[in-house]
A and B are shown apart, each in its own frame.
Chain A
Amino acid sequence: AQTVTQSQPEMSVQEAETVTLSCTYDTSESDYYLFWYKQPPSRQMILVIRQEAYKQQNATENRFSVNFQKAAKSFSLKISDSQLGDAAMYFCAYRSPTQGGSEKLVFGKGMKLTVNP
């Protein structure tokens, strides 16, 4: 079974600074998907960024980028120019390749990010 580990329960960053959230995972599969989700106090799960394992290029979405190290099974999220609205719980998630349209996400325990003004 796949597992996702987020070893840092909490982090803080100054506004406008850069912060990196770590995530490691364990799998025997060669093709899969990785995600970072953000959960603000409203509890709505918001997709931040996704990475397909077969792609060597790291995904980027505006201020958000990942460092995907497949051999090391590491998937860290970098937030640049941190904003107050970035404060939230961040969850790293793993998904097996889609088979027949079915899928399920395996989540890490999450990390609480605080952004200080």
Chain B
Amino acid sequence: GAVVSQHPSWVICKSGTSVKIECRSLDFQATTMFWYRQFPKQSLMLMATSNEGSKATYEQGVEKDKFLINHASLTLSTLTVTSAHPEDSSFYICSARDLIWHNSPLHFGNGTRLTVT
């Protein structure tokens, strides 16, 4: 089945630094990938839609200059948390869908747990 790989699975960084999270579709192509954020014991909240070869679409309230998204190929999207602060600590999950199958479901990565100290 389709697999989405997310790396790293966890990261600890100091306040003020930047962190890059990668999301790869391993055996299918995806023009669109989605980035979600999940706080402890809460649901997944969509942050942005990553579009291959064009600018990402951000949800209301999400700072595009803080959460930089790059989708340079059909199999890779990256989310960079810039100038991270402790309140950015969260679980970040990406998802993607196989283009070939019209009604294929979204596949999720394993997530990245970010801790900002």
A-contacting residues of B (Cβ < 8 Å)? 31-32, 34, 38, 42-46, 49, 51, 91, 93, 95, 97, 99, 102-103, 105-108, 110-111, 113
Contact = CB atoms under 8 A, between A and B. Distances in A.
A33 B106 CA distance: 12
Given A52-B103, A98-B103, A109 B42 contact: yes
Interface residues of A, number: 23
A8 B34 CA distance: 27
Dominant SS among interface residues on chain B: strand
Contacts of A47: 105-107
Contact of A103 (B93, B97, B113): B97
A54 to B, nearest CB: 11
A104 B106 CA distance: 9
A75 interface: no
Contact of B31 (A37, A44, A101): A101
Contact of A105 (B32, B102, B106, B113): B106
A91 B105 contact: no
